[in-house]
Amino acid sequence: MSNEGRTPDLTRDRGLQTVRESTYKYALAGCAVLSVLTTVGIIGVLFVDAAEFFASPAVTFGEFFTSTRFSPNLEPVSFGIFPLLLGTLLVTFGAALVALPIGLLTAIYLSEYASQRTRSVLKPMLEVLAGVPTVVYGYFALVYITPALNVVIGGVNGALGTQFPTLGLFNGLSASIVVGIMIIPMVSSISEDAMSSVPDSLRQAGYGLGATKFNVSLRIVVPAAISGIASSFILAISRAIGETMAVVLAAGSRPPDIPPTQSAFGLLPYVAPGDLLALYSDSAATMTVAMINIAVSDLSGGSLAYQSLFAIGLTLFVITLAMNVISDAIANRYREEYE
């Protein structure tokens, strides 16, 4: 037969290659499995300890979510996560208010307006901002932002006769600002990537129709990049929710007091905006900060305080997981928008 001579060659090569290929495959799969197992392990531990916490007769599920007091160490102990949720909400909301607009406008500037040279200077600077250890941000807030804000508040009160409260040493406002500054690079760099990948032909179409640069940026580029922009927002917010070191230094370790609720028409309970705003002037510990406090306080494994750590951690995990799911959903929803 004519091809008899070649067949063994082919077989040998293929055999060798198969062995090599499968080695690679299993090695790579091993790495993937390792990281999946680690994640599953962490989640498992969270669930097990949180379950033990809720199983304890001293605390109930309902109390955990509705009690307005969180004091794991001082008698009588109470494990209401609500004040911590409120702290997280205050700081995250404030940070988002700072970071989302500034980050988006920065991204628009970098992607649409800045010259090549400006961009090559500004982008690395923003990346440096992202690389500063968060504890430095916290210290900065404590030592510089809070005193500066107090000077401003004093000035405004003096000039306008307003009654804004002076900020405490630890306060939610400076924490919001500093966490906001911290997550600006995240918003701006992801949004900028999304905007830069909008095809130039769309901009040209806009200019060809007599649009101004501002109109092209806002009406064509931003909508076309909206899924990336939304993802950047959500990732940045997740980051703010999870931030710890900066917050513990800036906002202190005492959770905010739950403000009194008013009721509208005797039905709908609500909190007066002024009361909510006032919370920013005082210490506003978040979920992460509370966890740090428990972890560093002298506690024995198996104690209720120790287990509450995992209950809070699980809550945090659920929140950030939800944020990621939303972010994915948004990205998918708009994925085929331009292609």
Partner 1 sequence: MTTEDMATETEADDDTDSLVTSDPGKGGLSENDDRGTVMAADTIVESRDLDVFYGETQALQNIDLAIPENQVTAMIGPSGCGKSTFLRCINRMNDLIDICRVDGELTFNGKNVYDEDVDPVALRRRIGMVFQHPNPFPKSIYDNVAYGLRTQDKTENMDAVIEESLKKAALWDEVKDQLDKSALNLSGGQQQRLCIARAIAVDPEVILMDEPASALDPIATSKIEDLIEELAEEYTVVIVTHNMQQAARISDKTAVFLTGGELVEFDDTDKIFENPESQRVEDYITGKFG
Task: Answer yes or no whether residue 215 interacts with partner 1 by CB under 8 A.
Answer: yes
In the bound state with partner 1, the residue whose beta carbon lies nearer, of 70 and 334, is 334
| C-beta closer to partner 1: residue 298 or 339 | 339
Q: Which of 191, 231, 173, 183 is nearest to 109 (CA)?
A: 191
Spatial CA neighbour of 123 closest among 185, 169, 184 = 185
For 7, the enclosing helix (H) or strand (E) is: helix 7-55
Shortest spacing between CB 216 and partner 1, in angstroms: 9
Torsion of CA 71, 74, 78, 81, to 10 degrees: 10
By the rule CB under 8 A, 332 interacts with partner 1: no
| 223 touching partner 1, by CB under 8 A | yes
**Which DSSP state fits 337?**
G
Please report whether residue 222 would count as binding partner 1 according to CB under 8 A: no
Residue of 65, 144, 214, 270 interacting with partner 1 (CB under 8 A) = 214
Got the DSSP string for 261-274?
Answer: EEEETTTEEEE-HH
Residues in the interface with partner 1 (CB under 8 A) total 24
* 145 interacts with partner 1 by CB under 8 A: no
Q: How far is CA 333 from CA 195, 231, 325, in A?
A: 17, 12, 12
Give 144 or 214: the residue with its C-beta nearer to partner 1.
Answer: 214
Tokens describing residue 287: 């979920």
Kindly state the tokens that stand for 283: 């210490």
Query: CA-to-CA distance for 132 and 17, rounded, in angstroms?
Result: 47
Shortest approach of partner 1 to residue 210 CB, angstroms? 3
Nearest residue to 280 (alpha-carbon basis) of 70, 137, 151, 89? 89
Q: Note whether 201 binds partner 1 by CB under 8 A.
A: yes
Q: Does 319 bind partner 1 (CB under 8 A)?
A: no
CB of 229 to partner 1, least distance (A): 14
Q: Which is nearer to partner 1, 131 or 210 (CB)?
A: 210
Give the separation between CA 335 and CA 329, rounded to whole angstroms: 10
Q: Which span (64-72, 96-104, 133-141, 331-339) binds partner 1, by CB under 8 A?
A: 331-339
Q: Are strands 78-79 and 261-264 parallel, antiparallel or unpaired?
A: unpaired
Minimum CB–partner distance for residue 105 and partner 1 (Å) = 13
Asked if 224 interacts with partner 1 (CB under 8 A), we say: yes
Told to check if 82 binds partner 1 by CB under 8 A, we report no
Phi, psi angles (nearest 5°) of residue 250: -90, -40
Note whether 249 and 174 are within 8 A (CB): no
CB-based contacts of 225, cutoff 8 Å, min separation 6: 191, 194, 195, 197, 198
130 neighbors 185 (Cβ within 8 angstroms): yes
Interface region with partner 1, contact rule CB under 8 A, candidates 32-40, 132-140, 189-197, 212-220? 212-220
* Radius of gyration for the chain, computed over Cα atoms and rounded to the nearest angstrom: 26
- Per CB under 8 A, which region of 72-80, 220-228, 231-239, 316-324 contacts partner 1? 220-228
The residue written with tokens 């007769």 in the block is 57
Among 13, 21, 328, 337, binds partner 1 (CB under 8 A): 337
Which one among 56, 73, 204, 262 touches partner 1, defined by CB under 8 A? 204
205 binds partner 1 (CB under 8 A): yes
Q: Of 30, 76, 210, 274, which one interacts with partner 1 (CB under 8 A)?
A: 210
- Per CB under 8 A, the list member of 82, 109, 164, 207 interacting with partner 1 is 207
Which of 125, 209, 322, 329 contacts partner 1 by CB under 8 A? Answer: 209
Which residues of the chain form contacts with partner 1 (CB under 8 A)?
Answer: 199, 201-212, 214-215, 218-220, 223-224, 336-339
